[in-house]
Structure 1
Amino acid sequence: MSLRWIMRGAVALLAVGWGVEMSSAADQALIDAAKKEGSVSWYTALIVNQFARPVAEAFEKKYGIKVDYVRANAGETILRIQNEAKAGRVMVDVFDSFGAPQLEKDGMLTSYTPENARRLPQEFYDPKGFWTASNLYVLTPGFNTDLVPKGSEPKTFADLLDPKWRGKMAWSSNVSPASGPGFIGLVLGEMGEEKGMDYLRKLAGQRIAGIPLAARQVLDQVIAGEYSIALQIFNNHTVISKAQGAPSDWIMMQPALVALSVFSLPKNAPHPNAGKLLVDYIVSEEGQKAFRDADYMPVDPNVPPRDASLRPDGKTFRARYLTPDELDQALPVWGKIYNDIFR
């Protein structure tokens, strides 16, 4: 089965209408309606202390609207929303996840494009209005610098086949872009199906540990010395940990896989206007700078990350970009290959 990959440049495109009403999210009428609701419930995969808590506090200070957040990985968030919808009692107003297309197919999302999304490149918001990108996740290997001295780390796919790494690597076994299945998709997209499958069969001989946890937790185990190398983790997480004194760094293995973290609004949310206002705030210049200051990767091309090397530039650091819709189509295929070869 061939996979279609779309490469995108960093040039901002003009936002155009696609039959979806582009209402002004931050106009006074919406602010007033959101303030009447008084609070907003947010399910997030973002690190609480690093981003969710400070952004919630900034939003509360700006609008006087209380933010209640719950952190979970993408799969847990999607399952929770599905269960709430089936029970007829949706508890969340806004969420960030890779799984928006799945909920869209189930008719569980509200179409809304925030005003602040207009200034972003067109590929960073859904033309149907079901998601708006907030930040980029650049997926690369990471490693423990105490166990793998700088300069000795594997730098290419071929290097990962070196017998010295056998039994020393780990990745998430979840079906997501930040996991073994995500790595499989990257390899197939880069090498093609025949060569890619041959490579993956050889890689299976390296006895990579499949951990049923989020990529952040896999990296934590590597930092703790359980493994030397984590495959398919968020490169900015290594920077965050390194700044806190951890033996952590990332590898500019090319290409990287870049996935969009997106915000969406569920149908029948208890505080729909507050949810819309929070999404607009997230993609505003102020919200994008909050991502930068937390060492995340803003989607706004005019707000570069503090460590510019983290963001692929298409020259010294090459990447493959996938939208949530493309991931939704491809992940089941990658997951099956993972089960067939690596389980």
Structure 2
Amino acid sequence: MRIARRIRAMVLALLVCVLVPVAAMAADSKLEDKVVVYSTHGESMLELVADAFEKQTGVRVEFINLKGELADRVRAEKANPQSDVMYGAPSSVYQELKGEDLFVPFTPTWADKINPLFKDSEGYWYGTIQTPVLMFYNSDMMSKADAPQDWWDLADPKYKGKIVSRNALSSSARATYSALLQQFEKKNQMDKGWKFLKAMDANVKRYYGSGSLQFQAVGRKEAPISFAVLNSIIDNKIKNKMPLEIIDAQSGSPVITDAIAVIKGAKHLNAARAFVEFAGGAKAQAMLANKFNRMPTLPEAIAASPKWMGEIKFRVMDVDWGALASKQSEWMQHWDMEVKDSGKDKK
């Protein structure tokens, strides 16, 4: 009898050890009634993802579009986070904020399906959109033979007055100028890098504060050459019937990765993880690809996206975005003060 009672006691103790953690996990995994998302994405994109997420989970999404102020807002709230998820902005920003201990790691079900190029090796952030930045030209103004073949050609005096560009306030331009500089830094040739950017600046007819004005300038034949994110080039080529041709740069083109992460100290942690799982998944990525022409990072999503996303081939520039994260702001401040318009003719 004593032996039987001891056995029963041991079994009960074992069940307690097993069942308590399971019950705790079940309680921990219960989704909160809302999730707060800080983002750089436009309202229409956020509404599409938010509505689909709420329909699937019942969790209400409160989102705020902060554009260029996103990182600073997350930093400012570090001691008392008011958001749960950071959604949008380039991976270089995520790497910088990860170093400041502003995220917590999370492993969604699709994590192992993403190319290492598009995710943090420790699971602190994941790319949801890949955004190649490519050169292009107006084929009504310039032939393929006369167009630049690589980024370094943009400094050739023969292209003086034939380039229009975004200024460095644009995340794509910031990333591009910084990526080009890094190619010189790798060879300990930063002086040559700044000389290249100054020579390129001398050829730039005008900088624009918005992508729509930039493309309008190329369309009205103000200048034939520019560079922009691939989906914008395709949008203007297909929807606006602009005679644009893409240049596959010999040195490769920078590929910016828009990412997503769970903010450390999130007040709605389970809902935050669920949002990352959903927004980074193939269904949401394909949804944004078909509605907004944003190129997915998941192969499964690319297969369900507009045909051009699987067909256009381009070389990828070797960029260490992690190393770039701590230098980009300083470099672009220098570009803005010392390079921009420095090569223009003074009247």
Q: Sort the TM-score into its range (normalised by shorter chain).
A: 0.7 to 0.9
- State the 1:239 CA deviation: 1.9
Question: Is the Cα contact below 8 Å between 1:170 and 1:227 reproduced in 2?
Answer: no
Verify: 1:76 aligned to 2:74, yes or no: no
Q: Distance in 2 between matches of 1:279 and 1:187?
A: 33
Decide whether aligned partners of structure 1 residues 31 and 241 sit closer, same or farther in structure 2, where only a CA change above 3 A counts: farther
C-alpha separation between the residues in 2 aligned to 1:155 and 1:167?
Answer: 11
Q: Report the CA distance between 1:256 and its aligned residue.
A: 0.9
| Paired residues of 1:239 and 1:248 also in contact (CA < 8 A) | no
Change (3 A) 1:89 1:43: closer
Question: What is the CA–CA distance in structure 2 between the aligned matches of 1:113 and 1:128, rounded to whole Å?
Answer: 9
Q: Which has the larger radius of gyration?
A: 2
* Aligned match for 1:298, one of 296, 299, 303: 296
Give the counterpart of 1:62 among 49, 56, 71.
56
Q: Deviations over 1:290-315 (max 9, x none)?
A: 243232111113433524368774xx
Larger proportion of helix = 2
DSSP 3-state at the match of 1:182: helix
Cα 1:53/1:248, change in 2 over 3 Å:
farther
> RMSD of aligned C-alpha atoms?
3.6
**CA shift digits 1:58-88 (9 cap, x unpaired):** 2222222222322233x311011122335x3
- Cα deviation, 1:84-133, whole Å, max 9, x if unaligned, reads 335x3523433222211222222222222222212223443222221111
Runs of 5+ consecutive residues of structure 2 not aligned to the other structure = 1-24, 342-347
SS in structure 1 at match of 2:120: coil
Match status 1:46 vs 2:60: no
8 Å contact from structure 1 (residues 182, 334) kept in 2: no
In the alignment, which of 308, 313, 326 is matched to residue 323 of structure 2?
326
2:58 is equivalent to residue 33 of structure 1: no
Q: Secondary structure at the match of 1:179?
A: helix
2:166 equivalent to 1:166: no
The residue type paired with residue 234 of structure 1 is V
User: Contact between 1:81 and 1:92, CA under 8 Å: does it hold in 2?
Assistant: no
1:69 maps to a residue whose letter is F
| 3-state SS of paired residue (1:41) | strand
1:154 paired to 2:143: no
Letter in 2 for 1:79: D
Provide the residue aligned with 1:203 in structure 2.
200
Q: What is aligned with 1:110?
A: 104
Q: Aligned to 1:320, what secondary structure does the other structure show?
A: coil
Give the AA of the match of 2:85.
D
Report the Cα offset of residue 183 of structure 1.
Answer: 2.7
**Aligned pair 1:135/2:132, yes or no?**
no
| Partner residue, 1:341 | 339
| Residue 95 of structure 1 pairs with residue 87 of structure 2 | yes
Normalised by the length of structure 2, the TM-score is 0.72
**Structure 1 pair 77/155, CA: closer, same or farther in 2 (3 Å)?**
same
Tell me the distance in 2 between the aligned counterparts of 1:94 and 1:336.
25
Over 3 Å counting, the alpha-carbon distance change for 1:311 and 1:161 in structure 2 is farther
**166-175 or 268-277, larger mean C-alpha shift:** 166-175
CA contact (8 A) 1:144 1:225 kept: no
1:123-162 deviation per Cα after TM superposition (whole angstroms, max 9, x unaligned)? 43222221111121101235567x8467588333325635
Q: Within 5 Å, which residues of 2 pair with 1:182-331?
A: 182-186=176-180, 189=183, 193=189, 196-207=193-204, 209-211=206-208, 213=209, 216=211, 219=214, 222=217, 225=220, 228=223, 231-245=226-240, 247=242, 249=244, 251-254=246-249, 255-293=252-290, 294-304=292-302, 305-308=305-308, 313=313, 317-322=314-319, 324-331=321-328
* Number of residue pairs aligned between Structure 1 and Structure 2: 304
Query: Structure 1 stretches of 5 or more lacking a match?
Result: 1-27
| C-alpha spacing 1:129/1:336, structure 2 compared with 1 (3 Å) | same
Percent identical: 16
8 Å CA contact retained: 1:39, 1:68: yes
